[in-house]
A and B are shown apart, each in its own frame.
Chain A
Amino acid sequence: MLFVNENIFIAALFLSSAMISLRAIIDKVKDIQEMEKQLLDSKTSFEAMVNVDCFMEQLPRKVYEDGWPEDKWEKEMEKHPFFMTKSPEPGEELHPLIEGLQKLKYDEEENSPEELANTYKESGNFCFKCKKYRDAITNFSVGLKLECSDELRAQLLNNRAAANFFIENYKSALIDSIDAVKLNSNYLKAKLRVCRCYYHLEKYEECIKICEEIISEDQNNSAIIQLKKDAITKKKVKYRNLRKQAKEKKNKLAEEALLLEALKYRKINFHLRDNKELISIADLNPDLHIPEKMNRVYLENGTLFWPVLLSFTELTLNIPINDFEENCKFEVQLKIVFTESAELETKKYQLENVNIYFKDEYMKPIKFSVTSTLKEVLCDPRFILDCGIPVFFVLVKNSAAEENFINCIHK
């Protein structure tokens, strides 16, 4: 056993860190090598030992001070690359040993671009195995910026594509896979990935085409045969859904056209914003700031069904009536509302003691009879429809509220 310089001895055997940079270690190693030479030159091993002993004797004595202090040794151990339990966070100060190792591994002077690219590839692969896909991608990207052989480049692209695939970045994965195949046309893994990317991007024709290419070279690839079958089915479903949507859209437009036609025919006045000439379906959609849920007016067997709002100003209450058939008389609907609505004091509101009004374009209240049908009122030339919902005001006859109502508006 060789007696070596005591500092290196500690570092090598006990592996406890002196605060020695790697360069220092290398220097020390050079010293050892020199000494070994010297030793070999001596005549006997005993003489060698003696020589070393003499050599050691002559070195200046130093108390070892570079060890870990007793109270902080756990922290120091945590920082040492061989003993750390978790990897260093970015931004953290790095142990000089780690820095040294990093430099060795990644230094551009120490390594050729090819080696460096390979290193990044391996780092990326390691991250991939640890499921750190974004880190893997970063590694591969750095590797790709370097000059390297086509084969390595293709591998980097393929691996980056795989990482992107796992985080569902199918577009990026597709681009990388296609590039990988361009560099190496026999790259089966990359081709398979191209297929799968197309599949997930719902580009089924392209997927099927590449599947067929692969199958023509290898008839027995069951995974690809299955993928092709699935792609064919998905494609049929996709086109069926497109056709179905087109049909539904067409039907909807036809329905809307009929509705608008019916409204035009009845010559109902609409309050149109922005000086528009014609009404569109959007004009008929119920206003959003009405709290009650109301459907849009619709046509069924030639009859219109309206969403109507009854306003009881006395109680500041609005009662909605959906599906008010246009030929239905007001008295019928009012009766239902009066009997079924819990919010109204049924004593107060009876058919006989109420008046019902609508407002014209000047906000003037216009009274009408409860025996009228909805259609008759809507078609009244004074009636203006706003936001697709006719509003009618119900007030008790000769009440104070009614007087207020009439006078208020007048002003």
Chain B
Amino acid sequence: MLINKNSMRVFKKWATFRTCSKMGDVETGTMEILLKILKRSENSDTKLQALEILLGFTASSDGLETIYKDAGIIFDILIDLMFNTDFEIAKKVYSILINISAEERGAQLLVCNKLSEKRINIQNIICNCEENIVTLFFEQILSQNTRITEQACIILSNMSRKEEIARKIFNCFKNITESLNILVSHVLRSNESHDYLVSFLSNLSQLAEVRKAFLNSDDILEKVLMLISFKDSAIRRKGAVGIIRNLCFSVDNHEILLRPELDILSRLLLPLAGPEEFDDEDNEKLPLELQYLPENKIREEDPEIRKMLIEILIQLCTTRFGRNTMRENNIYIILREYHKWEKDRSCIDATETLVNFLIRTEEEIGTDNLQNIEIPPDLMKSFNLP
């Protein structure tokens, strides 16, 4: 995920202090001075310069260690500065937090940090956790203040990568379904500044409760599926596909996902479908949205997303029901043309695996649920499975 590395600058005024890591005592001393400046100085320029140096700290692991020592105090100061009227200062604070959240330890400290003052002014509709910094971020995101929403989204996305931290964030929600609905609707209505919010949701879906909430609400699922085709942002598309992929890991969910009302296959295959023409007979068997595609149809540009889509389809092949559904919808022809077009090696391999399942008849495959196959012990060893 995103790590914002700024180049380090040495200011003449602070020339006596080295900002590169090596000498711990000097750094601690530097830190004290920096914190004093940030707390007390009235001068915006000075504050900005101090923040710049702090940002430099976050670029190195030793620097980060120093920060972690006084995490509580530093966070307090930073949070205070988040509300500073000078936009440059607020932006710098967020950059620092982004870098901290990119590291696991930093994210851990952030999420465990208890806000010393009550900063939540408005009734937060998503979180009821007044002490957690995460609530502040949600506030920023849901208010119309668009200047720092992107940074807030990035921080949340960074933090939620590890499951335990994601769980702590999850525990802050009042009602998971409602919160998801609000967040997803918000994403659909807004511009690129909310892209990383989808990544955050994708990370959140590693938790079983979140997946359950997604599956129980048709509305939210539909919106996520719509995001898969969002033209202007690959990040959003990737996040949306990530959510669906996580949902597919549990085989029990496949029947729910493959319901005709949801029309998931259209959404998954549209990015892989191209302008090639099929005859009327072939077209009629495809899902409605994939029929008679025009000659200016472009495929998904990001190969990672394409690969994730194929992986989802492979997952859906686990059950007989899934395989049959896909065969009935004639998606083989789409994959055939896609396979001819694709240049990325790993995507091609994945496609071949998928097509393999679709071409073979059920007798050949022989089992309803591929997860139930018994792998002989000698093969287990070669796969390095536990």
Contacts and interface: CB of A to CB of B under 8 A. Distances in A.
Contacts of B277: 247
Contacts of A229: 261
Nearest to A237: B288
A240 B292 contact: yes
Contacts of A247: 277, 292, 294
Contacts of A267: none
Contact of B288 (A215, A236, A246, A250): A236
A243 B261 contact: no
Interface string B285-307: 00011011111000000000000
A236 B262 CA distance: 13
Interface string A290-325: 000000000000000000000000000000000000
A243 B293 contact: yes
A136 B293 CA distance: 47
B35 to A, nearest CB: 47
A240 B288 CA distance: 6
Nearest to A215: B219
A270 B166 CA distance: 78
A244 interface: yes
Interface in B194-227: 219
Is the contact region of chain A dominated by helix, strand, or loop, or is it mixed?
Answer: helix
A243 B292 contact: yes
B292 A244 contact: yes
A336 to B, nearest CB: 34
B221 to A, nearest CB: 14
Contacts of A237: 288
B170 to A, nearest CB: 23
Interface string B66-103: 00000000000000000000000000000000000000
A240 B294 contact: no
Contacts of A236: 288-289
Interface in A242-268: 243-244, 246-247, 250
A243 B261 CA distance: 22
Nearest to A236: B288
Interface in A212-256: 215, 229, 233, 236-237, 239-240, 243-244, 246-247, 250
B288 A243 contact: no
A229 B259 CA distance: 13
Contacts of A243: 291-294
A351 B297 CA distance: 58
A238 B64 CA distance: 58
A276 B283 CA distance: 41
A137 B291 CA distance: 44
Nearest to B293: A243
Nearest to B277: A247
B261 to A, nearest CB: 7
A240 B261 contact: no
Contacts of B289: 236, 239-240
A323 B293 CA distance: 34
A239 B292 CA distance: 10
Contacts of B261: 229
Interface of A: 215, 229, 233, 236-237, 239-240, 243-244, 246-247, 250
Interface of B: 219, 261, 277, 283, 288-289, 291-295
Given A239-B289, A244-B292, 17 more contacts: A215-B219, A233-B288, A236-B289, A237-B288, A240-B288, A240-B289, A240-B291, A243-B291, A243-B292, A243-B293, A243-B294, A244-B291, A246-B294, A247-B277, A247-B292, A247-B294, A250-B295
13 contacts: A215-B219, A236-B288, A239-B289, A240-B288, A240-B291, A243-B294, A244-B283, A244-B291, A246-B292, A246-B294, A247-B277, A247-B292, A247-B294
